[in-house]
Amino acid sequence: MEKSKPGYFWKSFYILVSLLLLLLAAPPVRGWWFQGGGRWFYIFLFSFCLSYLLTPLSRYIAMKLGIMDYPDARKIHSKPTPLLGGIAVYLAFLGAILVNYIFDQKVGAILLGGALLVAVGVWDDYKGAPAGSKLLVQILATLLLVKSGIVLNFFPAATTVGAIGNILLTLLWVIGITNAFNFFDGMDGLATGLGAIIAAFLGIIAFQTFQPFLGWLSAAIVGSCLGFFPYNFRLRQPASIFLGDTGSVFLGFVLASLAVMGEWADNAPFVSLTNPILIFGVLIFDMIYITVSRIYSKKVVNFRQWISYVGKDHLHHRLNSVLKNCKSTVIFIFFLSTTLGIGALALRNAQIVDALLLISQAAIILVLVTVLERAASIITRIKEWQKEPKSQRYSG
């Protein structure tokens, strides 16, 4: 019986990746890459290989333990899908950090905070965890960052009020981005691909501004995400495994932490803050949009309802209602995020007015997308209404 060509290809590729990982793990090979100035690419390759090889194991464990994401009215997938893909992404990131001796107090805080969120994420994927408990762990993980010195410096740190303001702003940023990223894990490949895109822009700017530690950590995230991506985004088939809260919360936390850890501009605090705002622009816009929309429509009336509300009103849901294709929606968001990220690359030596113009441009782009999406949605509803028999149009 002739072997299936796609199946044979992926089995061969898996063996090839395994051999590559063994080669990369050899000390002489690692030393050669480091001495040759290719450490960032080595980290990328190592995390990619490890993530790619561990994902089938994570899938097997999830299926054995029954840690599955079952379809329901608010979800898009139509059959039970294993969770715990985040375990492979986390271990690949951790492995790349440890094998490359990338460690200091700040990196330790990121790893420890990430480990706490992964532990809670595994429990949430398995049994379910209250939103309040997850928020408390996120606060604890962010305070670990603050204690290690990973704090936004938007206000004058010399004063008590300024120091407290910086801490509160750091909490708002990290927890907000962590949850915004988790919300985007709603379509095959969306969160994973978006994580790779965001980390890639953070890494590019890190190398432009001579921040090697930040660049290496970003490279580890890019590799971990792309190693998982082929299992999570398949053109002709649904995803074979999901990140789960284990992976989406972890990725959101690490990416938000790297944004705080980096020095993005020397000109002014506002210019420095503009860089991550553009890179994370899609996530920030979606969080603001759904918050205003839900409060305006009275779907949420207090903070407890806000953190526990689950709906299909996110950007990817709204775009999908127009494009009618999940894969097209995901690719559209990738291009949208890339467009905003390119704007961030221009801010290295920018002045405040340049930052304001780029932020305004990004806002206009996102507003235009929303206007077109809503207009197309209205047209679609009108066409559906016109197709109904006249006797049913005004019923009810």
Q: Rounded to whole angstroms, how far apart are CA atoms 67 and 172?
A: 31
138 neighbors 253 (Cβ within 8 angstroms): yes
42 neighbors 216 (Cβ within 8 angstroms): no
Q: What total of structural domains would you count in the chain?
A: 2
- Which residues have CB under 8 Å from 230's CB, separation 6+? 52
Q: Kindly state whether residue 4 falls inside one of the protein's structural domains.
A: no
Q: Kindly state whether residue 224 falls inside one of the protein's structural domains.
A: yes
Q: Kindly state whether residue 35 falls inside one of the protein's structural domains.
A: yes
Q: What is the dihedral of CA 357, 363, 364, 366, to 10 degrees?
A: 150
47 neighbors 224 (Cβ within 8 angstroms): yes
**Domain co-membership, 97 together with 218:** yes
- 235-246: buried (b, 16+ CB within 10 Å) or exposed (e) per residue? eeeebbbbbbbb
For residue 69, the SS3 value is strand
Residue at a domain's end among 230, 263, 296 = 263
Q: Kindly state whether residue 396 falls inside one of the protein's structural domains.
A: no
**Domain co-membership, 284 together with 241:** no
Domain that holds residue 338: 266-385
Residue at a domain's end among 200, 229, 263 = 263
Q: Rounded to whole angstroms, how far apart are CA atoms 252 and 175?
A: 9
Express each pLDDT in 243-300 by its tens digit.
Answer: 989 999 999 999 999 999 987 765 566 777 788 889 999 999 888 888 888 888 777 7
pLDDT tens for the chain, 396 residues: list them: 445 566 677 788 889 999 999 999 888 888 888 777 788 999 999 999 999 999 999 999 999 999 998 876 666 666 888 999 999 999 999 999 998 887 888 999 999 999 999 999 999 988 888 888 899 999 999 999 999 999 988 787 778 888 899 999 999 999 999 999 998 888 889 999 999 999 999 999 888 888 888 999 999 999 999 999 999 998 888 889 999 899 999 999 999 999 999 877 655 667 777 888 899 999 998 888 888 888 887 777 776 767 667 777 788 878 888 888 889 999 999 999 999 999 888 877 777 887 888 888 888 988 888 888 777 667 666 666 566 565 555 554
* Lookup: tokens for 68: 């599955």
